[in-house]
Amino acid sequence: MGEHTVTSFDEELNRIDQLLCEMGDLAGAMTQSATKALISSDNGLAQRVISDDAIMDAKQRELDERAITLIAKRQPMAQDLRAVVGAIRMAGDLERIGDLAKNVAKRVGAVGDSATPRSLAHSIDAMAQLVIVQVKSVIDQYVARQSEGLTSLRDEDEKIDIQYTSVFRELLTYMMEDPRNITACTHLLFCAKNLERIGDHVTNIAENAYYVMTGEQLPVQRPKLDETQMTVSAE
Amino acid sequence: MGEHTVTSFDEELNRIDQLLCEMGDLAGAMTQSATKALISSDNGLAQRVISDDAIMDAKQRELDERAITLIAKRQPMAQDLRAVVGAIRMAGDLERIGDLAKNVAKRVGAVGDSATPRSLAHSIDAMAQLVIVQVKSVIDQYVARQSEGLTSLRDEDEKIDIQYTSVFRELLTYMMEDPRNITACTHLLFCAKNLERIGDHVTNIAENAYYVMTGEQLPVQRPKLDETQMTVSAE
């Protein structure tokens, strides 16, 4: 394989990494704006998040096309192939994060500005800030090809789950206190669940990133925790 | 390109189609069992759905590996490439359907057997039956390479959305009537939302299937409808 071909493969892979970065930045920004829109009942900002989702989809399509073309043209092996396939998967998770942020934004109108108590807004915002840091961190670590931090980053998702469980309980309490809160609170419940799911996609990205870099699975799979589901065992 | 190579590509693509069928059957069966477990408070059945998800994941991994190997080894062009890439995407949607069915199953314990009124169980079951027919239908049509029915199949998703909106309202009513229903009803709300999202993934599969067969996008994109979100426009 000539020098030219090798350089060209790396260049194409760099372009794919760059697209991943852009998607990661957009995913973080959409999550940030959607949360802000929700807490401040800013319908204009919510609309911007909703339209940003089309940009995210376009970036994913571009990445997919570049990656597939790269596989077909250069037939990469081992780590190179893992990197290209991994990029497709990570882009899929970033696109889903964009969708989830959009779903939060879509509920801004339904939640309205009357029913959100300050303490609840604070809990949801705290959860969102954890999520946003995670999204940025996982992409930064992938692009720098640093695998060391990925395990702890995945384990950080537990904090988001704990925060979600607390928001879930807080919401139930408001609903029980006053039935007039129920409609707004159910929408907030979906918003909180969407943020929690963004954390799950960060975990997926961390697992893929680790696999791309090492060829191995991230050690010790943490069991997925949504305490609010309270699974009852069969026996 | 020799006869042998062509046959071999088709054989490998057939194996991928077969895996898609198996994933489609499993997705339908998981959705059916999860709904049944939910309505009859059958924790044993719920556990089976949860463990079936590992089988789904394994099938997706096998399909992914076969598809990527096929692209790298045979460098398919045009329709052949679309079929392989399309299979990866459809498998991704089927895997998500399995996840959503698993999420419904995980809530069976939390919902319990006390709080579900008959009429509500009926509404959720009716919604699930629509979804299950859709899952089976989209895979059948893809494997038979029949593109004619895909447009109407996608439009059928609207019926699921309407049913979801009705379940959503019914649930809010139960919560408002009696605060003791709130916890169980919020879990049912997530279950109904998961079923509605399975319908969305069927739509994605229909769009991918159409693209594989025709090289074109499904005509007239229906705007995504979740009436319960009641988006407020920016102005």
> How confident is residue A68, by pLDDT bands cut at 50, 70 and 90?
confident
H helix runs in A107-215, sequence order: 108-111, 118-143, 150-177, 182-214
Average pLDDT, chain A: 88
Nearest CB neighbour to A175, from listed B108, B175, B193: B175
- Taking CA–CA distances from B109, the nearest residue in chain A reads A232
Which chain B residues have any C-beta within 8 angstroms of a chain A C-beta? 43-44, 46-47, 50, 64, 68, 71-73, 75-77, 81, 85, 88, 92, 103, 106-110, 168, 171-172, 175-176, 179, 182-183, 186-187, 189-190, 193, 226, 228-234
- Determine the pLDDT at residue A119: 80
A-B CB pairs within 8 A amount to 108
Mean pLDDT in residue range A68-85 = 86
Give the CA angle between residues A186, A166, B30 to the nearest 5°: 60
Q: Which residues of A touch B103 (CB under 8 A)?
A: 229
The span from the first CA to the last CA of chain A, in angstroms, equals 60
Q: Which residues of A touch B76 (CB under 8 A)?
A: 72
Per-residue pLDDT of chain B (235 residues; tens, 9 = 90+): 444 556 688 999 999 999 999 999 999 999 999 999 999 999 999 999 999 999 999 999 999 999 988 988 888 887 888 899 899 999 999 999 999 999 999 999 998 876 567 788 889 999 999 999 999 999 999 999 999 889 888 888 899 999 999 999 999 999 999 998 899 999 999 999 999 999 999 999 999 999 999 988 887 655 555 667 654 433 3
> How confident is residue A168, by pLDDT bands cut at 50, 70 and 90?
very high
pLDDT, greater one: A157 or A34:
A34
- Determine the pLDDT at residue A11: 92
pLDDT, greater one: B223 or A132:
A132
Q: Closest Cα partner for A43 from B190, B223, B229, B222?
A: B229
Contact B99, A219 (CB under 8 A): no
Tell me if B232 and A193 make a contact (CB, 8 A cut-off).
no
Mean pLDDT in residue range A117-129 = 89
- Determine the pLDDT at residue B105: 98
Percent of chain A with pLDDT over 90: 66
> How confident is residue A233, by pLDDT bands cut at 50, 70 and 90?
very low
Nearest CB neighbour to B234, from listed A44, A77, A175: A44
From residue A9, alpha-carbon distances to A81, A110, A139, A156, B155 in Å are 11, 48, 21, 34, 42
Q: Closest Cα partner for A203 from A160, A148, A146?
A: A160
- Determine the pLDDT at residue B220: 63
Query: pLDDT digit string (tens) for B114-168?
Result: 656 778 888 999 999 999 999 999 999 999 999 988 988 888 889 999 999 999 9
Q: Which residues of B touch A193 (CB under 8 A)?
A: 190
> How confident is residue A76, by pLDDT bands cut at 50, 70 and 90?
confident
Can you list the domains of chain A with their CATH numbers? 3-228 (1.20.58.220)
Residue A162 per-residue DSSP state: H
Q: Tell whether the model's pLDDT for residue A1 goes beyond 50.
A: no
- Determine the pLDDT at residue A219: 76
Tell me if A81 and B68 make a contact (CB, 8 A cut-off).
yes
